[in-house]
Amino acid sequence: MSTPSSAGYFLLSDNLEADTNTAFECIREAASAVIDPHKHGLQPYGCGCVLFRDPSVGRFYRHDSPYTYFTSDEMHLGEIALECSRPGAAAVALWATQRLFPLERGGEFAKGLAAGRAAALDLHARLRRDGRFVTGTSPELDILVWAPHVKSVSEASNLSRRIFAEAAQRQLHLAIATLPVHLIDVGDMTRDCDTIVCLRSVLMKPEHREWTDRIWAILDAATTAAGVTR
């Protein structure tokens, strides 16, 4: 089992559900974990790594270059790193960022994560109350997915794409995700497809908490323009 990316920052947040905290606690049982400070960690690409419980798996990544040499019989990072060579500036940038925004519960960085999650929960609640939409489960972190509530799954998929385009014209840039139908509470919709095209949004900025009303107003207008009615 492998666990991914920058989600671990949310361990600093004070508004997670108990099940989410339990899932994080299980990371210690994983065979490997991906650490990626991109986005939530405020870093550009190229500042992550993969950690393995069993160091011997390094032999599968081992490579030799004619222009490098090593001073130990132990596997060297330069021999097993996925990118072979990496700029030291990436490490310095992460260090400097964490000096400015320490990874502390109750700190400014943690409050920003909690604000983004609160925005996602707010938007999810609005979607649930609005008869024009069906949703996935309540956001565990700051990601939510939804689709139009219409007669059939195939029609919902087509309308999701229309809403996506209408929202983009109004400077609300969502994402499209194709998911198994069972992950969305489609209710009385005809299940004429095994998958459904959904709209996806990640409210990862602290400012999203203050922008929720504006986001909802644009989404409402885009949904109406796409032809979805209550």
pLDDT per residue as tens digits for the range 114-157: 999 999 999 999 999 999 999 999 999 999 999 999 999 999 99
Confidence of residue 3 (pLDDT cuts 50, 70, 90): very low
* Same domain, residue pair 65 and 12: yes
CA Rg, the chain, in Å?
Answer: 22
Question: Is 90's pLDDT higher than 90?
Answer: no
Tokens of 141: 């972190």
Q: CA 164, CA 184: separation in Å to the nearest integer?
A: 18
**Which of the listed ranges 49-58, 90-99, 159-168 does the model predict with the highest average pLDDT?**
159-168
9 part of a folded domain: yes
Verify that 219 and 132 share a domain, yes or no.
Answer: yes
116 and 202, same domain (yes or no): yes
Supply the pTM of this predicted model: 0.86
Cβ atoms 144, 135 nearer than 8 A: yes
The residues with which 135 forms a beta bridge, in sequence order, are 146
Give the model's pLDDT for residue 222: 98
As to burial, measured by CB atoms within 10 angstroms (0-12 exposed, 13-18 middle, 19+ buried), residue 196 is: buried
Do 135 and 214 belong together in one domain? yes
pLDDT at 4 over 60: no
> What is the Cα–Cα distance from 69 to 88, expressed in whole angstroms?
19
Domain of residue 39, residue span: 2-100
The verdict on 94 and 116 lying in the same domain is: no
User: Per residue in 32-79, pLDDT tens?
Assistant: 998 889 889 998 877 888 889 998 898 887 777 666 655 667 777 767
Q: In percent, how much of the chain has pLDDT > 70?
A: 92
Helices (H), the chain: 18-25, 77-80, 88-100, 108-129, 153-169, 208-225
**Among residues 100, 127, 153, which one ends one of the domains?**
100
Domain boundary among 100, 116, 138: 100
- Among 7, 224, 206, smallest CA distance to 109 is for 206
Domain match, 14 and 91 both? yes
**108 is written with which tokens?**
């400014």
Same-domain pairing of 88 and 141: no
179 and 207, same structural domain?
yes
21-35, 62-76, 168-182 — which is least confidently predicted? 62-76
* Residue 161 pLDDT: 98
